């Protein structure tokens, strides 16, 4: 009996070892380049570091992740085109610049879509996120996971804004994006599309009154030096996407694909954690730097939502009615209002 049991145990160990060897055989030595438009001190840097360590651990050091920061391999759109061509492996990019490639991604630019981070996580990591991800291979890229860009808020130099009608007439810089432009025009502002690199000087010379960005960007870009008022509008939440070249993805083994997918999720969780922690620190620092913070009461937020409601209809043909309706249905389930 003892000998039989011992033989069985040894056979099991041998089979496990063989399985492990077979899995390792499916992993080749690869140097995977990942491009980012932001700098390494951004929370994405923390996520990439976690993803890199995870890949090294799961692949026995064979899969290496090499990061290029600050647009060193070109802007996010340029890098995404390199993925589509199969000349670069990865990019972590905001959804907004990719609307020209896949119009459905414009759904994430719609105003006042998510109420909080938990809603965003549930949607992105659930059925709707998969619905969008399943479309991306048709455009030459594979989405490994959704990371966080974050909620955007308004700043200006003219007056405290806590009510919808106090937005009227403010000259506000927005991203060069038709949905953001339409949203801010609908709220009564003189919306001005402008590249981010021009914003600080335009605020300093009062060519524009204000701008909108996540708190971390407002803080790290020192916009408090040229902006006095901060309004917690949380008017838009945009994700980052961890994209991989479809052409190069198809050359990977199933084992390699699993490692990349699993480790991108490890990186995502770390990036979101650091992003939210840093968001809170930036909020406190902006107050310390003298910015006057205004919250928006629920009734006033409702007025802003109503003012921008038609934006959804005006961009429905471009984004796709089914895409918008799917996301609305997901949110209704989460909120228990369906």
Confidence of residue 18 (pLDDT cuts 50, 70, 90): very low
The answer to whether the beta carbons of residues 231 and 296 sit under 8 Å apart is: yes
From 3-17, 62-76, 307-321, the region with the lowest mean pLDDT: 3-17
What interhelical angle do 117-124 and 127-135 show, nearest 10? 50
**Pick the residue with more confidence: 155 or 74?**
155
Domains delineated in the chain: 29-330 (3.40.190.170)
Q: What is d(CA 259, CA 58) in angstroms, rounded to the nearest whole number? A: 7
Which residues, including other chains, have CB under 8 Å from residue 268's CB and lie 6 or more apart?
47, 145, 146, 147, 148, 242
User: Which residues on adjacent β-strands are paired with residue 148?
Assistant: 239
Q: What is d(CA 244, CA 254) in angstroms, rounded to the nearest whole number? A: 15
Predicted TM-score (pTM) of the model is 0.85
Alpha helices for 125-228 (secondary structure H):
127-135, 178-186, 199-204, 215-220
The answer to whether the beta carbons of residues 203 and 223 sit under 8 Å apart is: yes
Instruction: List Cβ<8 Å contacts ≥24 apart for 123-128.
Output: 123/327, 123/330, 123/331, 123/334, 124/239, 126/330, 127/330, 128/326, 128/327, 128/330
pLDDT at 38 (0 to 100): 81
* pLDDT tens digits, one per residue of 186-220: 999 999 998 888 999 999 999 999 999 999 889 98
Structural tokens at position 186: 């609908």
* pLDDT tens digits, one per residue of 282-329: 999 999 999 999 999 999 999 999 999 999 999 999 999 999 999 999
């Amino acid at each position: 009996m003892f000998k039989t049991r011992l033989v069985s145990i040894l056979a099991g160990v041998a089979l496990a070892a063989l399985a492990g060897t077979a899995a390792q055989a499916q992993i080749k030595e690869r140097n995977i380049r990942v491009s980012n438009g932001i700098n390494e001190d951004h929370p994405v840097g923390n996520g990439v570091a976690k993803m890199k360590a995870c890949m090294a651990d799961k692949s026995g050091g064979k899969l290496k992740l090499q990061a290029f920061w600050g647009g060193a391999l070109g802007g996010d759109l340029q890098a995404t085109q390199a993925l589509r061509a199969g000349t670069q492996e990865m990019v972590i990019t905001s959804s907004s610049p990719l609307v020209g490639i896949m119009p459905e991604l414009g759904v994430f630019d719609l105003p006042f879509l998510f109420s909080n981070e938990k809603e965003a996580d549930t949607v992105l990591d659930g059925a709707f996120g998969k619905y969008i991800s399943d479309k991306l291979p048709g455009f030459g890229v594979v989405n490994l996971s959704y990371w966080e860009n974050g909620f955007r808020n308004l700043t200006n130099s003219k007056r405290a804004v806590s009510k919808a009608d106090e937005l009227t007439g403010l000259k506000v810089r927005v991203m060069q994006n038709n949905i953001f432009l339409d949203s801010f025009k609908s709220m009564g502002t003189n919306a001005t599309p402008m590249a981010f690199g021009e914003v600080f000087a335009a605020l300093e010379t009062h060519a524009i009154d204000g701008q909108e960005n996540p708190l971390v960007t407002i803080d790290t870009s020192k916009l408090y030096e040229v902006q006095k008022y901060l309004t917690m509008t949380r008017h838009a939440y945009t994700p980052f996407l961890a994209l991989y070249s479809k052409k190069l993805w198809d050359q990977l083994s199933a084992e390699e694909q699993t490692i990349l997918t699993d480790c991108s999720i490890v990186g995502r969780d770390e990036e979101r954690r650091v992003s939210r922690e840093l968001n809170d620190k930036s909020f406190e620092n902006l107050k310390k730097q003298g910015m006057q913070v205004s919250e928006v009461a629920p009734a006033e937020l409702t007025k802003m939502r109503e003012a921008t409601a038609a934006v959804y209809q005006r961009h429905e043909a471009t984004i796709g009615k089914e895409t918008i309706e799917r996301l609305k249905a997901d949110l209704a389930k989460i909120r228990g209002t369906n």
